[in-house]
């Protein structure tokens, strides 16, 4: 299994440019034998997107850009690309309620392969210290009630975790319990 890290220098709010950089980096890695490409946290929209997340049109554009990236990489058989992006369930992102009937925004990562978005994982541990202000914009992935994202490639099972998860046991333990061999 050859893994590539796509360090793309994303620009906040530049969905077209960031998408192009992600796809180009994934294609280059694939041409050099990579099976798995990892992109930055929120690489699709740039970090930190802050108040852009409050715009419904921006969130819809992020969802479309993610689907477009998946389609653009359809001709790379056997390639898995983990893309960081904002996500919401439903038409609005409202952090004032934990109700499942009220859509919320999440800091997420999705696995792209074969022209499809195979799955989504929502960040559970949100930093809120020093330069980080994620709780202002995102709900914890615990509220999404999604199982860990585990995918298989090259005879291994991979679990997806996002940034702050490296400092906490629970996300890795949950991924392992779901069958992940590698995080």
pLDDT of 183: 92
Question: Is residue 159 domain-resident?
Answer: yes
pTM: 0.90
Average confidence (pLDDT) over 17-23: 98
Question: Is residue 47 domain-resident?
Answer: yes
Question: Is residue 68 domain-resident?
Answer: yes
Q: In terms of residue numbers, what domain contains 62?
A: 3-177
Question: Is residue 56 domain-resident?
Answer: yes
Q: Which residues are catalytic?
A: 41, 123, 163
What is the three-state SS of the chain?
Answer: CCEEECCCCCCCCCHHHHHHHHHHHHHHHHHCCCCEEECCCCCCCCCCCHHHHHCHHHHHHHHHHHHHHHHHCCCCCCCEEEEEEEEECCCCCCCCCCCCCCCCEEEEEEEEECCEEEEEEECCCCCCCCCCCHHHHCCCHHHHCCCCCEEEECCEEEECCCHHHHHCHHHHHHHHHCCCCEC
Number of domains observed in the structure of the chain: 1
Q: Give residue-wise pLDDT tens across range 27-64.
A: 999 999 999 999 999 999 999 999 999 898 999 999 99
Question: Is residue 182 domain-resident?
Answer: no
Q: Give residue-wise pLDDT tens across range 123-137.
A: 988 878 877 888 788
Q: Give residue-wise pLDDT tens across range 70-88.
A: 999 999 999 999 999 999 8
| Residue 125 or 120, more confident | 120
């Amino acid at each position: 299994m050859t893994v590539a890290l796509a360090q793309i220098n994303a620009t906040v709010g530049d969905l077209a440019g960031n998408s192009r950089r992600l796809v180009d980096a994934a294609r280059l890695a694939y041409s050099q034998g990579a099976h798995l490409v990892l992109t930055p946290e929120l690489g699709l929209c740039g970090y930190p997107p802050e108040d852009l997340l409050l715009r419904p049109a921006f969130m819809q554009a992020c969802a479309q850009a993610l689907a477009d990236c998946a389609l653009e990489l359809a001709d790379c058989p056997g390639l898995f690309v983990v893309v960081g992006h904002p996500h919401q369930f439903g038409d609005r992102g409202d952090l004032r309620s934990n109700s499942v009937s009220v859509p919320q925004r999440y800091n997420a990562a999705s696995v792209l392969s074969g022209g499809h978005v195979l799955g989504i994982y929502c960040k559970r541990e949100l930093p809120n210290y020093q330069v980080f202000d994620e709780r202002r914009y995102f709900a914890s992935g615990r509220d999404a009630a999604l199982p860990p994202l585990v995918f298989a490639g090259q005879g291994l099972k991979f679990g997806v975790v996002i940034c702050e998860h490296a400092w906490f046991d629970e996300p890795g333990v949950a991924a392992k319990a779901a069958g992940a061999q590698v995080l």
